[in-house]
Structure 1
Amino acid sequence: MKLKYIFTLLGVMLLGLTSCGKKDAPETNPFVGTQWERTATETNSTGAFQVTTVTTEEIHFVDDSHISYQASVKVTSEDGTINKEGERNKTELTYVHKGAIATSNVTVAENEKVHHIKFTFTIDGSKQKLTLVASSEGEKDDIRIFTRKK
């Protein structure tokens, strides 16, 4: 009789362990709360003058469906004099994700033209690099690599 109860108990435990597989667990969003940064430096010569432009971009995945984006620009002369410095307004977008890929679609009106832009964000396996691909109809894709800030 005791043997029957032991096998019943083992059977129930085994059934409990196998019924809650990995597929049953809710999918977590790897983007939530992450912050990313990219700094690009460009040097241009205009006649006798050389100017350096440093652009810093930041992306923050605020929650399960919202992104904030902000960029700052600093232009300096050869001698280190700051010619121009400023931040762009913070932009908020919505996004959807599936695994390590998130997408956001934006419509922008510029010079009486309407542009539909699709942003695709991909996190690498180590979760330390974010690749952003911006696609627009008829234009070459813009690819930018961000590193994890937080």
Structure 2
Amino acid sequence: MKLKQIFALLGVALLGLSACSKDTPKTNPASSGSLAGSQWEYIEQELEDDGKTETTTIVLRFIDGTKFVTESTSVTTQGGTILKSETDTPKQGTYTYQGKEVTLTTTRQDDGKIVTSIVRLVMDDTNQTLAGTVTEDGVRKGIIYTRKK
């Protein structure tokens, strides 16, 4: 009789676990083929000559299958005290995701001209990162976004 109860309990547990697995969405972009709904974060710290530290955090949110938004926050500290905090206006753009490459495209007006910026990022599924390079003030630098959710 006890053996029958144990098998019944195991059967119920297995059915419960298999039902829960169907409720869990595919969160790995590589397996789902989409970045929609995911958030990624890039943090850069710069130590200034006067002992101040400027920390810039950029959050990259993929809204749907073609649109993204970036939000940037900069915090300047010295000796653990926050001296200044700035949040930039969110920037919108479009993206494509093919294979492991994400191409971000933004447009802005600069002196009456429309300027298009393109950034290519490569996904590392294992570490859940997007890595690439950008040119800022004539200097190329590497950037790595880490997945938040």
Same fold (TM over 0.5): yes
Q: Secondary structure at the match of 2:45?
A: strand
Give the RMSD, CA atoms, in angstroms.
2.5
- Consecutive unaligned residues in structure 2, runs of 5 or more: 1-30
Q: How does 1:103-114 map to 2 (within 5 A)?
A: 103-110=103-110
| Identity percentage of aligned residues | 25
Taking structure 2 as the reference length, what is the TM-score of the superposition?
0.66
Shift of 1:131: 1.1
Q: Secondary structure at the match of 1:86?
A: strand
Higher Cα Rg, which structure: 1
After superposing on structure 2, the runs of 4+ consecutive aligned residues of structure 1 that deviate more than 6 Å are none
Q: Which residue of 2 aligns with 1:64?
A: 65
Taking structure 1 as the reference length, what is the TM-score of the superposition?
0.66
Shift of 1:70: 0.5
Distance 2:97 2:83 in 1: 40
Distance 1:135 1:116 in 2: 13
Q: How does 1:35-114 map to 2 (within 5 A)?
A: 35-46=39-50, 50-78=51-79, 80-110=80-110
Shift of 1:31: 1.7
Q: Secondary structure at the match of 1:45?
A: coil
Deviations 1:91-127 (A, max 9, x none): 1111122122121333333356664321112211326
- Consecutive unaligned residues in structure 1, runs of 5 or more: 1-26
